[in-house]
Structure 1
Amino acid sequence: MKKILIVEDEVELANNLSEILSNLDYKVASVVDNAPSALEFLEHNEVDLVLMDILINGDLDGIDLAYKIREGYDLPIVFSTAYSGTEYLERISSEIHEGYLLKPFSLESLKTAVFFGLKRHEEKKGKIRKSKGSLKIMDKGYLVPVPYTEVVYLKADGLYTKVYTKAKSYLVRDILKSFEDKLPEDQFIRVHKSYLVNISYIGSFNAKKINLGETSIPIRRGLYKELMEKLNV
């Protein structure tokens, strides 16, 4: 059963939230109304998610508290607030929360926000684990673990794939599609039927080609816009 810490200064609302979450098969670990109490509770207890109002008692508001939680804990945070003004939204980075619930909210919106808050956090952790992995490549009778971060690009060569790293290249008896399934999708992109590229090494590009240092790779038609979004350009 997932445990939730509620940070809410409206007593009646906090009680309602606690009852609703219990009925949704979550365990309410505790209810607090200020940042120091929340941090003290987290120091001695484990929870799976923090459901937090932006305006809480004390000198630190919910956004300040979220940043402090992120410094010491790997926890999903879902904000709940009656305020949608830009003065709050501009302070909220996507890196410090997994959901945003606008008051007054319905049972379904609360259920959805908590469910997807937990789910998004698991997906983030999965991506981090995957991006820290490595390709296992056989080279001259030895198994070589090549970190994903060292792979610059891969090129299809019939039933083989050439893997180009910063230091050297490897010829592997496996098709490019197989590598595409193994590599983290947020780090690599199929830019052409014959090429898979690590976006970290893209120096420049246009609608026809991508430059990876001294290497130029053709880009498939229609990918330019997708690549712009992937690189947050």
Structure 2
Amino acid sequence: MKKILIVEDEKDLAENLRDLLEALGYVVVKVFDQAQFVLEYLKTEAVDLILMDVMIKGSMDGIKLTEEIKKSHPIPVVFITAFSDQGVLERISKGKYEGYLLKPFSLQALKSAVFLALNKHAILEKDLEGASKNSLKIRDKGYVVPVSQDDILFVEADGLYSKIVTIQKTYVLRGILKEISKNLDPKKFVRVHKSFTININQVTSLNAKELVIGEHIIPIRRGFYKSLLGLIKLN
């Protein structure tokens, strides 16, 4: 059963929402009316969706609270508000959210908004999971960058670090070549030398001693030429 958190400062509406959601088969885990309680709760507990009132108690409203939550928690949020003025709508539209309900709303509107938000999030997670399987997460200048494995030309050992050489640029990743290679698709990547793991789809030519990828010449370990030749489909 999906777990829902309600953030609403109108007690009667919050209780009504709880009753409606439970009647629809959801579990309401908590009801909060201030941002600080929500952020504290989410440090230790997981929820599947948040129903977020725009105007809540405290210095942080629901829109700002959602921004804070989305920084560290990929939780779908459905806004609920009595305000329909342009300013509020523009602030909501600029952020990340999965639904919007204008008070007063019907049971059918609530049912549809919650269902669509959960479904949209499930599809997004599935897409991200598929994308992550074909990418390598690299920290670059303080940011985590998902690099497509298809764009990686080769990985070169550099002491306790490894150089990830891609079509666009070179990244330096902390970790020895053996460990980095474990995260690469074995159907695409082969360790051809003690210092190199290469993308076999990027090889343009080779001989018994070395191979060429773009402008790079990479050595091949002794006795590996015939095996490598069988794996590589030259363009």
TM-score by length of 2: 0.57
Corresponding residue of 1:59 = 59
Deviation string 1:115-174 (CA, Å, 9 cap, x unpaired) is 111111111112222233439xxxxxxxxxx946639xxxxxxxxxxxxx949xxxxxxx
How far apart are the structure 2 equivalents of 1:131 and 1:94?
A: 25
How far apart are the structure 2 equivalents of 1:50 and 1:38?
A: 10
Q: Partner amino acid for 2:103?
A: K
Q: Partner amino acid for 2:38?
A: A
Corresponding residue of 1:90 = 90
Indicate the structure (1 or 2) with the bigger Cα radius of gyration.
2
Deviation string 1:52-89 (CA, Å, 9 cap, x unpaired) is 10000110000000001011211110000111111111
Corresponding residue of 2:125 = 125
Corresponding residue of 1:73 = 73
Corresponding residue of 2:27 = 27
In structure 1, list runs of 5 or more residues that go unmatched: 136-145, 152-164, 168-233
C-alpha contact (below 8 Å) 1:54/1:62 kept by paired residues: yes
C-alpha contact (below 8 Å) 1:133/1:147 kept by paired residues: no
How far apart are the structure 2 equivalents of 1:94 and 1:28?
A: 28
RMSD: 2.2
1:1-233 aligned within 5 A: 1-93=1-93, 96-134=96-134, 147=148, 150=151, 166=167
How far apart are the structure 2 equivalents of 1:57 and 1:36?
A: 10
In structure 2, list runs of 5 or more residues that go unmatched: 136-146, 153-165, 169-235
Measure how far apart 1:41 and its partner are. Answer: 1.4
Identity %: 47
Aligned residues: 144
How far apart are the structure 2 equivalents of 1:111 and 1:28?
A: 14
How far apart are the structure 2 equivalents of 1:25 and 1:148?
A: 42
How far apart are the structure 1 equivalents of 2:112 and 2:151?
A: 39
How far apart are the structure 2 equivalents of 1:16 and 1:24?
A: 12
Structure 1 residues 134 and 42: alpha-carbon distance in aligned structure 2, compared to 1, 3 A threshold: closer
Q: Which runs of 4+ in 1 moved over 6 A?
A: none
Measure how far apart 1:40 and its partner are. Answer: 1.3
How far apart are the structure 2 equivalents of 1:103 and 1:6?
A: 15
Measure how far apart 1:48 and its partner are. Answer: 0.7
Corresponding residue of 2:142 = none
C-alpha contact (below 8 Å) 2:4/2:29 kept by paired residues: yes
C-alpha contact (below 8 Å) 1:132/1:148 kept by paired residues: no
Q: Partner amino acid for 2:102?
A: L
How far apart are the structure 1 equivalents of 2:80 and 2:92?
A: 12
Q: Partner amino acid for 1:29?
A: V
Corresponding residue of 2:209 = none
